[in-house]
Amino acid sequence: MPLLVMKFGGTSVATLDRIRRAAKRVGREVANGYDVIVIVSAMAGKTNELVGWVEETSPLFDAREYDAVVSSGENVTAGLMALTLQEMDVPARSWQGWQVPLKTTSAHASARIEEIPTDNLNAKFAEGMKVAVVAGFQGISPEGRITTLGRGGSDTTAVAFAAAFGAERCDIYTDVDGVYTTDPRITSKARKLDKIAFEEMLELASLGAKVLQTRSVELAMRYRVPLRVVSSFEEYDPNAGTIVCDEEEIMESNVVSGVAHSRDEAKVTLLSVADRPGVAAAIFGALSEAGVNVDMIIQNISEEGRTDMTFSCPTNQVARADRCVQEAREKKLINFHGLEVDSDVCKVSVVGIGMRSHTGVAAQMFEALSAEGINIKVITTSEIKISVLIDRKYLELAVQALHDAFGLEKSG
């Protein structure tokens, strides 16, 4: 029997009415001849509420108990979804992560999936179960404790199940109707993409697009799991949404597929760093151990034997970065004269697999920004991406200008 994985996010199961609506979509796929694994998130707002209770109870909480509490939201949704399907005469059963079992590492609150044995669920499908409703976001550690995969982890759960069970497709039901060329809230010209390559989606997800969790796209790309992003609030249409797939499945596309942005960025500069072999490793090794998510990096020679080192990171990690490099200086691991922080910047990026075979994309991007009087502070590139750091007040203008410059309102 062919198998589908269907994942419903928090807004898609926020109320009993929405659970019923989601269940009807599942029932339609069962009627079409599929066995279905449904992955559910907690009802919208529930995880935040549970996290708040944990933090109020124990500010320096035990991560194992944190996982025990915050994973409970998905358990409730899974049970309600299974009951709803049973009321529709669809043979369904709910499964918590430990019952599958979804085996993870022991890194509580940010565990990684290690294995999903298929025997338990396949045995139940063989006995006549048509739908397995699995609580997303959770698993079980080697020590037998409940673990969670980090915020947005239900996307990763869904892709992992699709890979493990050889699903025909993994449908991600959410509150948007697909992947757009940019944020529709910034420009009305944003266009929904019918297809996007895994690599492009991975870049967009890592650069601030909130449609899919980055780890889920990584998994889908590694195991070649076809993904479909589709709205749970629109009427049924088998061709709706955006397919995330192999590059070879896209006949022709624009050179640039999308414009992404990240609003809350900061530019940090270490002034007059002693320039010697290993200094970069000392700086960024310490930042990594402190959990600072460094993105752009540039190094300039400022004077004989000294250099300025600039990097970007999320604004909420600036204090941690500052403390980290000051401690490294006190330990004489690095030597620098001062620290400058610009917290009023943002990152804007253009992404497209077409960049591999087309020249002039960077020049076109910089000309479009220059025409709007937007100064570029930092630039970084990859094979299919160009990112710039600019003043935050120009974010919307930059996104609109780049969207227009690359003609993204037009199909490929």
Q: Is 181 a known ligand-binding residue?
A: no
CB 352 within 8 A of CB 257: yes
Q: pTM value?
A: 0.83
175 is in an annotated binding site: yes
Was 9 annotated as part of a binding site? Answer: yes
Looking at residue 300, what is its pLDDT?
A: 79
Q: Is 124 annotated as a binding residue?
A: no
Q: Name, in order, each residue with C-beta under 8 angstroms of 234's C-beta and a sequence gap of 6 or more.
A: 177, 240
pLDDT value at residue 252: 65
Sheet of 113-115, strands arranged across: 113-115, 103-104, 138-140, 146-148
Domains of the chain, start order: 3-175 (3.40.1160.10)
Q: How far apart (Å, rounded) are the C-alpha atoms in residues 41 and 344?
A: 34
Residue 210 marked as a ligand binder: yes
CA neighbor of 81 nearest in space, from 147, 152, 134: 134
> pLDDT (tens digit, 9 = 90+) per residue, 62-86?
999 999 999 999 999 999 999 999 9
Identify the residue whose tokens are 């001062």: 338
Confirm or deny that 174 is annotated as ligand binding. Answer: yes
Residues 6+ apart with CB under 8 A from 184: 190
Q: How confident is the model at residue 237, as a pLDDT?
A: 80
Pairing of strands 242-245, 227-231: antiparallel
Position 302 scores a pLDDT of 62
**Which residues, 6 or more positions from 299, have their beta carbon under 8 angstroms from its beta carbon?**
280, 307, 308, 309, 310
β-pairing, 131-135 with 92-95?
parallel
Q: Is 74 annotated as a binding residue?
A: yes
At residue 1, the pLDDT reads 82
Cβ neighbours of residue 200 closer than 8 Å, sequence gap 6 or more = 257, 258, 351, 352, 353, 384
d(CA 312, CA 193): 30
Average pLDDT for runs of 10 along the chain of length 412: 95 96 96 97 95 93 95 98 98 97 95 96 97 97 96 92 96 90 90 91 78 88 93 83 88 83 93 87 91 88 80 93 92 89 95 88 96 95 93 96 93 62
pLDDT of residue 240: 86
